[in-house]
Structure 1
């Protein structure tokens, strides 16, 4: 029988919630190949204009265990810096994972920075076990937001 599991992760940032959300989530397909070329070779929208039901694809280097990922945006509230996406194609989908979703919410902090809260839920196929993939996923998500943070600190006029 397939099992449903989840993990959560928080990343603190000195950048405001709206800026890190727009750069690290909404426009990450544009920034990723520039800011993380060692991981992302290219990225582009496949369907839609960035709203609900839009699909974007990320193509990876050999640093990742699979060569591409496609995700569909299921929910978005830009004002509340919150979104939910579903993984529709990637390594493991259909062979180890039946389904996977991620919900991201970026909340402001009292010092003008923010906290990125990520919750990932996935349904493993029968007989599949997760070993160190969760810690790798958390490291990957942290790397995304730290790269976006560094870019925003270096480019104070970006995403205002």
Structure 2
């Protein structure tokens, strides 16, 4: 069975700053902003462009799924579209056959941006993710966005 999850978040941060920090420098910034969750993000192959394989190493408290590996499918710097597929870890292999996420950043009239997330997944069994699991996915993405936003608000010259 397949399903699509969508969510969006408004931020006062400009598209360019949020893109540079939250997408382009995600590998370096996230372990610093979320040390309670991640110990590191490493490139296993590639240079951060399309086809790059990344491995996320989680702290012990989050090791229920082990490390997660994903592949960058799209990184469109002009249109601010980032798409990746989880190839190992997380719910892939436990409950899901596939998990593909796309993040799009669009400018808002107020000078900030609107971040849109779309996740498409296919389950291993004949049941979709529970509302609780979907909420955890959305909350995890929101925590990343809020951590990035908080850092950029506190450091107005960062990624300017």
TM-score band by shorter chain is over 0.9
Whole-angstrom distance in 2 between the partners of 1:17 and 1:157: 15
Tell me what 1:117 maps to. 116
Tell me what 1:136 maps to. 136
Whole-angstrom distance in 2 between the partners of 1:140 and 1:63: 15
Cα contact 1:96–1:128 (8 A) shared by 2: no
Tell me what 1:151 maps to. 151
Structure 1 position 128, deviation (Å): 4.2
- 1:62-104 deviations in Å (ceiling 9; x for gaps): 4434231111111111121111111111132223110110010
Whole-angstrom distance in 2 between the partners of 1:59 and 1:9: 25
Unaligned runs of 5+ in 2: none
Whole-angstrom distance in 1 between the partners of 2:67 and 2:93: 14
Give secondary structure in 2 for the equivalent of 1:32. Answer: helix
Tell me what 1:45 maps to. 43
* TM-score (normalizing by structure 2): 0.93
Tell me what 1:93 maps to. 92
Give secondary structure in 2 for the equivalent of 1:118. Answer: strand
Whole-angstrom distance in 1 between the partners of 2:128 and 2:145: 28
Tell me what 2:9 maps to. 11
Whole-angstrom distance in 1 between the partners of 2:45 and 2:153: 31
Number of residue pairs aligned between Structure 1 and Structure 2: 158
Whole-angstrom distance in 1 between the partners of 2:142 and 2:93: 26
> For residues 13-92 of structure 1, what are the structure 2 equivalents within 5 Å?
13-64=11-62, 65-92=64-91
Unaligned runs of 5+ in 1: none
Structure 1 position 117, deviation (Å): 0.3
Structure (1 or 2) with the greater helix fraction: 2
Structure 1 position 61, deviation (Å): 2.0
